[in-house]
């Protein structure tokens, strides 16, 4: 087990930076409870729509001031001009990563990059966030993709096609199932990031996830970032759960 002294983390900090914890809470006060429990562990914090729409830019700045890397998971999908402006505002917040839907197309994805670059041109103290594309939501079955959305074929083929479009648009990676990380690396190169939810330690509850991998398997498959929610956030001792997962990631 990695050891902790006075809230500081003496384990593998680079590996901790690959563990993303979703702050899926209705308000900042509840998110701060988990932050306190995980204090000192230099993990990535993922802020999704629920928390961002409630607590807004101020809470993102609070996370940054506390030293966390922040993934703003707001999955933009709009006309290029609107996404360009959204990306510019998000980049000014100083986040480390944000995302857009690949199904918005290459012009929209390129506009996200342009918006981020415009913010940096205006304030060179900012750094370019990693811009990640959502491929096919893991909640979408092949039947829904084929019959409702109208995309034929297998989900994995659609994911790879979207990943290639994201790479061609200059984006830095995709959100995907860990089961797709290796195929995405083959299609888009090993530096193209994969951000993978659907992580469950051996024996843990699957909750509503279906195609899962353990933390060790996901690292071995080449996932760059592991999004681990309920196995940590719903644990009786979230800190101990996070440290056990980090240990497994380090050993992989
Ligand atoms: O609790 P759990 O580990 O399932 O949480 C996974 C996190 O990853 C949640 O914040 C969920 O919204 C997010 N996510 C996901 N599947 C996707 C994209 C995001 O589970 N395809």
Ligand 1 nearest atom to the CA of residue 24, by list position: 10
Q: What is the mean pLDDT of residues 38-52?
A: 97
The 10 Å CB-count burial string (b at 16+, else e) for 31-61 is bbebbebbeebbbbbbbbeebbeebeeebbe
**pLDDT at 88 (0 to 100):** 98
How many angstroms does the Cα of residue 197 sit away from the middle of ligand 1? 5
pLDDT of residue 140: 86
Residues with CB under 6 A from ligand 1: 22, 24, 48, 137-138, 175, 197, 207, 209, 227-230
Q: Tens digit of pLDDT for each residue in 145-178? A: 999 999 999 999 999 999 999 999 999 999 999 9
When pLDDT is averaged across residues 19-35 and rounded to a whole number, the result is 98
pLDDT of the residue at 2: 38
Nearest to 75 by CA among 86, 64, 65: 86
Q: What is the per-residue pLDDT for 8? A: 74
Atom of ligand 1 nearest to the CA of 234: 1
The pTM for the full model equals: 0.94
- 196: CA distance to ligand 1 center in Å? 8
Indicate which residue's Cα is closest to atom 3 of ligand 1: 229
Q: Which atom of ligand 1 is nearest to the CA of 200?
A: 3
Please give the mean pLDDT across all residues of the chain: 95
Of residues 39, 64, 75, 118, which has the active-site annotation?
75
Q: Are 166 and 158 in contact (CB under 8 A)?
A: no
The pLDDT value recorded for residue 48 is: 98
Q: CA 34, 40, 42 angle in degrees (round to 5)? A: 90
Residue 75 falls in the annotated catalytic set: yes
Q: Write down the pLDDT at residue 52.
A: 98
**Given ligand 1 and candidates 229, 235, 238, 241, which is best to mutate, with the most ligand atoms within 8 Å of its CB?**
229
What are 111-121's pLDDT values in tens digits?
999 999 999 99
Q: Give residue 18 CA to ligand 1 midpoint distance, Å.
A: 15
């Amino acid at each position: 087990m990695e050891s902790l002294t006075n809230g500081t983390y003496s384990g593998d900090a680079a590996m901790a930076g690959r563990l993303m914890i979703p702050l899926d809470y209705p308000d900042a006060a509840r998110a701060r409870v988990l932050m306190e429990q995980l204090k000192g562990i230099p993990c990535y914090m993922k802020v999704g729509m629920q928390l961002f729409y409630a607590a807004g830019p101020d809470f993102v700045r609070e996370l940054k001031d506390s030293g966390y890397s922040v993934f703003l998971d707001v999955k933009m999908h709009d006309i290029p001009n609107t996404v360009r402006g959204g990306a510019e505002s998000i980049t000014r917040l100083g986040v480390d990563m944000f995302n857009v839907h690949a199904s918005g197309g290459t012009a929209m994805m390129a506009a996200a990059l342009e918006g981020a670059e415009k913010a940096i041109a205006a304030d060179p103290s900012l750094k370019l966030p990693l811009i990640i594309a959502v491929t096919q939501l893991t909640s979408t079955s092949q039947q829904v993709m084929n019959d409702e959305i109208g995309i034929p074929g297998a989900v994995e083929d659609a994911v790879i096609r979207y990943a290639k479009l994201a790479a061609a648009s200059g984006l830095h990676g995709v959100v995907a199932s860990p089961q797709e990380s290796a195929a995405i690396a083959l299609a888009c190169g090993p530096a193209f990031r994969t951000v993978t939810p659907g992580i469950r330690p051996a024996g843990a509850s699957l909750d509503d996830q279906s195609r899962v991998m353990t933390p060790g398997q996901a690292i071995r498959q080449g996932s760059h970032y592991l999004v681990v929610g309920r196995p940590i956030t719903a644990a009786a001792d979230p800190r101990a759960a996070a440290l056990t997962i980090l240990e497994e990631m380090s050993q992989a």
